[in-house]
Amino acid sequence: MQIYKVGGAVRDRLLGKPVTDIDWVVVGATAEEMLANGFRPVGADFPVFLHPKSGEEYALARTERKSGRGYGGFTFHASPEVTLEEDLIRRDLTINAMAEDDQQNLTDPYHGQRDLEARLLRHVSPAFAEDPLRVLRVARFAARYAALGFTVAPETLGLMRELSESGELEALTAERSWKEISRALMEDQPQVFIEVLRECGALKVLMPEVDALFGVPQPKAHHPEIDTGVHTLSVLEQSALHKQPLTVRWACLLHDLGKGLTPEEEWPRHIAHEHTGLKLIKTVNERFKAPKDCQELALLVGQYHTHGHRALELKPSTLLELLQSLDVYRRPQRFEEFISACEMDARGRKGLELRSYPQADYLRGAATAARSVAVQPLLEKGFKGPELGEAIKRERLKALKAYKEEAST
């Protein structure tokens, strides 16, 4: 049997990037031989094995044919006769379809190296269309390698467009989609992921709520970039520049969905978009079964981001409501993430990227003031149950009034 390094490990070595996962392909072997050599099978009828020591994936060279709609609708053909070239041709991109032996000799029948040099994400063959998840993968690679100058080849974009129009994307499971989306959002230029999806028509299918933001104007005074979609991309870009966690990036992407629902006659104003957007945020959260922390933060940021921006003008009672809704007493980290998302929203505007955001420290100070209210003295005064809750609130309100007064002097 011959063993080759394939896929991302070869691509990233040639790009001079760190290699984390190594995938191997085995040519000329049977499953029985693999088992006899101590490899552990990954699934019952999937020709992939784990190395007994390294735990890395070793796949028998295989051909694939699509036999039905969606994922799972595949038939595999793995046998010792399948050649390396046959295995590589079923892969997604030419830059992912190179193999290397233990002497670093490259097998590159589909010119991956040429495309690496040309900075092109190009599909290998029409077999690309057999897995619609590849539309998201290409957009993710575009986000990852944008800084290196990579773009999607026009013919690949065309194929992605056909796939998006065919209804195939709807067959993707929430889990597979979320894995791609969450990885893409954590790339250096997550806005490119959304741009590429939009360009090939996939955004309209996957997240019509985000797609609808393009072409929707906002008031120039607060939003020199005017377009809500452009603004959303800038907010996402800021979130990556500031190394924000996934929760914040997800909230950034969804924070203004309500603006897509504003009747045209009300443009460029978007009264109550924080409220109207909540239903849409919930729908998108659920569509991809986003993790709970992402879901929660997106909803809170959607509902309260304008409160964040107006923090210094808020009445103490409104400030208290905000802090209560954010449960700053028990969820300090989420509160920080909320502040970060608001700050990214404020900076994700044309020409305002470097502005300061005094609201952040003001909100932190307010939370400290509200948290400083001690419960013990109230218990000692005999407050219990709902009355105790009311008494704590009253004391917090007092503390916030004092805080606001002090801050304004």
Which residues of this protein are in contact with ligand CTP, per CB under 6 A?
7-8, 21, 23, 91-92, 96-97, 131, 133-134, 137
CB of 191 to ligand CTP, least distance (A): 18
The rounded distance, in Å, linking the Cα atoms of 123 and 110 is: 9
- Residue-by-residue DSSP string for 249-294: HHHHHHTTGGGGGS-GGGTT--TTHHHHHHHHHHHHHHHTT--HHH
Cβ proximity of 20 and 4 under 8 Å: no
Q: Which two three-digit tokens encode residue 93?
A: 């991109």
CB of 22 to ligand CTP, least distance (A): 9
Nearer to ligand CTP, 18 or 385 (CB): 18
Residue nearest to ligand CTP (CB): 8
Q: Which two three-digit tokens encode residue 160?
A: 């992605």
Nearer to ligand CTP, 137 or 231 (CB): 137
CB of 71 to ligand CTP, least distance (A): 9
The count of C-alpha atoms lying within 13 angstroms of the C-alpha of 216, restricted to the half-sphere facing its C-beta, is 24
Nearer to ligand CTP, 115 or 337 (CB): 115
Cβ proximity of 256 and 246 under 8 Å: no
The rounded distance, in Å, linking the Cα atoms of 291 and 345 is: 22
Nearer to ligand CTP, 112 or 201 (CB): 112
Nearer to ligand CTP, 27 or 230 (CB): 27
CB of 176 to ligand CTP, least distance (A): 9
β-strand partners of 24? 5, 58
CB of 79 to ligand CTP, least distance (A): 19
The rounded distance, in Å, linking the Cα atoms of 168 and 331 is: 40
CB of 134 to ligand CTP, least distance (A): 5
Cβ proximity of 176 and 133 under 8 Å: yes
Nearer to ligand CTP, 96 or 234 (CB): 96
Cβ proximity of 86 and 93 under 8 Å: no
The rounded distance, in Å, linking the Cα atoms of 356 and 347 is: 8
CB of 57 to ligand CTP, least distance (A): 8
Nearer to ligand CTP, 67 or 356 (CB): 67
CB of 407 to ligand CTP, least distance (A): 47
Greatest CA separation found in the chain?
84
The rounded distance, in Å, linking the Cα atoms of 322 and 314 is: 10
* Run of H or E residues at 192: helix 190-199
Cβ proximity of 131 and 169 under 8 Å: no
CB of 384 to ligand CTP, least distance (A): 56
Nearer to ligand CTP, 141 or 357 (CB): 141
Q: Give residues with Cβ within 8 angstroms of 250, minimum separation 6.
A: 182, 185, 290, 294, 297, 298
Nearer to ligand CTP, 108 or 131 (CB): 131
